[in-house]
Amino acid sequence: MTIKSASACVTRRRSVRSRCLALGVALCALTGSGCHLSDTGASAYLPPDQYFAELSLEHHAINLSLGAPYDTVTLRTTRTMGDGGPVPGEVVYRVTSPSLSITNGVLKADSAVTRATVYATLTYGTITRTDSAVVSVIATAPTALRDFGLRVAPGDSAKTAASRGNLKTIPLLRQSPSGTDLSALLIALRSSDSTIAAITQSGSTVSIDPKRPGRVMFYTSTYAFGTVWRDSLVFTVGWPVVFGVRISERFVSGTRTTVLGFGHQDFTIGLGGCVTWTSHITTQDIDMQFEDPSRVSAPAGRVCPGAFQLLHGDVGGNIAPFRNIPFDGRDVITEEDFEYYVSTVLSGFRARVFSTPGVFPYRSTLHGTSGLVRVCDEAADTICAPRRLGGW
């Protein structure tokens, strides 16, 4: 199949140009090349003053009671164009439970319900936006809140390291005047940047899933029986304190010769972090010579995985040549058999701890490959945050 050049479209009528453009976009999508199409405004097709940018309910967690005046709440929305101007039109509301009704924008509780959802929808031109809120209704008189928000436990900090699966929890406070936990009270949670840290609720605990280093703001709010409660917490996701580097095998360009290199050649960890190197290569050794081995410590302490401390746990500095040694399958009967088994299992692993900030270059004298460990002291250094992520 022959694809005509873009210049062939220029001299044709507008309809032909449109078909050429559509063909080009389709080809971009099919090939996955992206074609570097740019979006120069709030919308690629509409100027900001015509682009419906946002629709947001005032409350995203609403708690009502059947007793007046706590059985109603007026639903309000924020609706803005791309230039900040208001969006004309009427918001349409709907609820998921017959326990609730909406008249002229007023949400009313008709019977008790543990959890329902109210939706707000607005259409402007070809753009339709929807927002939602969770609602609960109790049949009894409400209990007032005395304290509400995100709290860090005594001795803890609003910080964790960016490591896969490294979930951190903090308490969620919904306290009555008597000090009891109002666990049935619905709340809304939001992270200002879920690519840095995502946040979810489970009972009276908030789980934080760190994604990448940076600083984020967590927001929580609730409309509780006529009163609005809000709280926020600044949370820091620091550099990882355990970082794994896989040893990989690759061909030297233009030859059939293989060398061993490092899967991550330039990375950053937090102060006192532990770097682990793992090799599954059984045919070649690899070594690591640091530019300043005196500042590279043995894999000791609570940060380094315990398994890495079983073999040469007291040895720091440069890493002597090593390779993965397969277990020969012998029966493990004697103490010597067990020691041999452990040594083979751990043979492909090495680790070092970096307790001082700075840059730590290293290289393999056997293969000529190199790596770089950057150590960030986040408490003292405000500029070692990743670029475009802001300061700590």
What pLDDT, in 10s, does the model give residues 250-277?
Answer: 998 888 889 999 999 999 999 999 999 9
Per-residue pLDDT, averaged over 94-101, amounts to 97
* Predicted confidence (pLDDT) at residue 155 exceeds the cutoff of 50: yes
296 and 255 inside one domain:
yes
Burial string for 136-156 (b: 16+ CB within 10 Å, else e) reads bbbeeebbebeebbbbeeeee
Tally of domains within the chain: 3
173 and 124 inside one domain:
no
* Predicted confidence (pLDDT) at residue 237 exceeds the cutoff of 80: yes
Least confident range from 94-103, 206-215, 318-327: namely 206-215
337 and 247 inside one domain:
yes
Question: 364 vs 22, which has greater pLDDT?
Answer: 364
Name which of 286, 294, 297, 295 is nearest 363 in CA terms. 286
Domain range for 127 is 48-138
Looking up residue 340, the CATH number of its domain turns out to be 2.60.40.420
* CA atoms of 387 and 375, how far apart (whole Å): 15
**Three-class secondary structure of residue 103 per DSSP:** strand
Quote the pLDDT of residue 385: 62
Per-residue pLDDT, averaged over 311-340, amounts to 91
> Which of these three, 80, 105, 138, is where a domain ends?
138
Round the average pLDDT of the chain to a whole number and report it: 86
> Do residues 263 and 113 lie in contact, with contact meaning Cβ atoms separated by under 8 Å?
no
* Predicted confidence (pLDDT) at residue 40 exceeds the cutoff of 80: no
What is the band of 81 on the pLDDT scale with cuts at 50, 70, 90?
Answer: very high
91 and 165 inside one domain:
no
Tokens of 333: 């009967």
234 and 250 inside one domain:
no
Looking up residue 234, the CATH number of its domain turns out to be 2.60.40.1080
Quote the pLDDT of residue 281: 95
Quote the pLDDT of residue 162: 87
* Predicted confidence (pLDDT) at residue 109 exceeds the cutoff of 60: yes
Residue 383 lies in a domain: no
251 and 287 inside one domain:
yes
Which of 7-11, 220-224, 239-243 has the highest average model confidence (pLDDT)? 220-224
> Which of these three, 138, 158, 177, is where a domain ends?
138
289 and 342 inside one domain:
yes
344 and 250 inside one domain:
yes
> Which of these three, 91, 116, 138, is where a domain ends?
138
Residue 7 lies in a domain: no
CA dihedral of residues 349, 354, 360, 364 (deg, nearest 10): -20
What is the band of 164 on the pLDDT scale with cuts at 50, 70, 90?
Answer: confident
251 and 200 inside one domain:
no
> Do residues 241 and 232 lie in contact, with contact meaning Cβ atoms separated by under 8 Å?
no
**Three-class secondary structure of residue 253 per DSSP:** coil
What is the band of 5 on the pLDDT scale with cuts at 50, 70, 90?
Answer: very low
Q: Which amino acid is at 311?
A: L
Least confident range from 40-54, 178-192, 245-259, 290-304: namely 40-54
Beta strand pairing status for 286-290 and 358-363?
antiparallel
* Predicted confidence (pLDDT) at residue 35 exceeds the cutoff of 50: no
What is the band of 384 on the pLDDT scale with cuts at 50, 70, 90?
Answer: confident
233 and 319 inside one domain:
no
SS3 track for 291-343 = CCHHHCECCCCCCCCHHHHHCCCCCCCCEEEECCCCCCCCCCCCHHHHHHHHH
Residue 6 lies in a domain: no
Q: Which amino acid is at 101?
A: S
* Predicted confidence (pLDDT) at residue 389 exceeds the cutoff of 80: no
pLDDT digits (tens, 9 = 90+) for 116-142: 999 999 999 999 999 999 999 999 999
* CA atoms of 327 and 346, how far apart (whole Å): 10
Residue 17 lies in a domain: no
What is the band of 212 on the pLDDT scale with cuts at 50, 70, 90?
Answer: confident
Residue 111 lies in a domain: yes
265 and 363 inside one domain:
yes
* CA atoms of 373 and 392, how far apart (whole Å): 20
- Tokens 């984020």 found at: 216
> Do residues 249 and 354 lie in contact, with contact meaning Cβ atoms separated by under 8 Å?
no
272 and 354 inside one domain:
yes
Helix (H) or strand (E) holding 241: none
Residue 43 lies in a domain: no
> Do residues 112 and 137 lie in contact, with contact meaning Cβ atoms separated by under 8 Å?
yes
Least confident range from 22-31, 140-149, 377-386: namely 22-31
Quote the pLDDT of residue 3: 37
Helix (H) or strand (E) holding 88: none
Residue 12 lies in a domain: no
Residue 285 lies in a domain: yes
Question: 71 vs 214, which has greater pLDDT?
Answer: 71
Sequence-separated contacts (24+) of 297-301 with Cβ below 8 Å: 297/352, 297/353, 297/354, 297/355, 298/352, 298/353, 299/274, 299/350, 299/351, 299/352, 299/353, 300/353, 301/272, 301/274, 301/353
Question: 189 vs 162, which has greater pLDDT?
Answer: 189
Quote the pLDDT of residue 36: 39
| pTM exceeds 0.85, yes or no | no
Sign, CA torsion 47/49/52/55: positive
Tell me what percent of the residues of the chain surpass a pLDDT of 90: 70
> Do residues 97 and 116 lie in contact, with contact meaning Cβ atoms separated by under 8 Å?
yes
